[in-house]
Amino acid sequence: MTIAGVALLGLVFSLLNFQNGLGFISLLAYWQSVIRGVFLLLVIVLQARVLKKRVTVTKLAR
């Protein structure tokens, strides 16, 4: 799961011109920070949901 997240982050950041200036879309530094924050917040929320679902399933299995 971690490897998939890192790969996805790398893809998004390179496409949006975050790292090396060779991306398809050029954004101001402010908007790059906003997109990173929103993306990371989304990942955290999704991970929390998955973890909560696993805990619920584990409790029901006992």
- Which tens digit of pLDDT belongs to each residue from 7-18? 877 777 776 665
Domain residues of the chain, as ranges? Answer: 2-61
Over range 30-46, report the average pLDDT. 85
**Cα–Cα distance for residue pair 58/42, rounded to 1 Å:** 24
Over range 17-45, report the average pLDDT. 74
What are the percentages of helix, strand and coil residues in the chain, rounded to 5?
75, 0, 25
Tokens representing 62 are 């006992």
Report which DSSP code applies to 28.
-
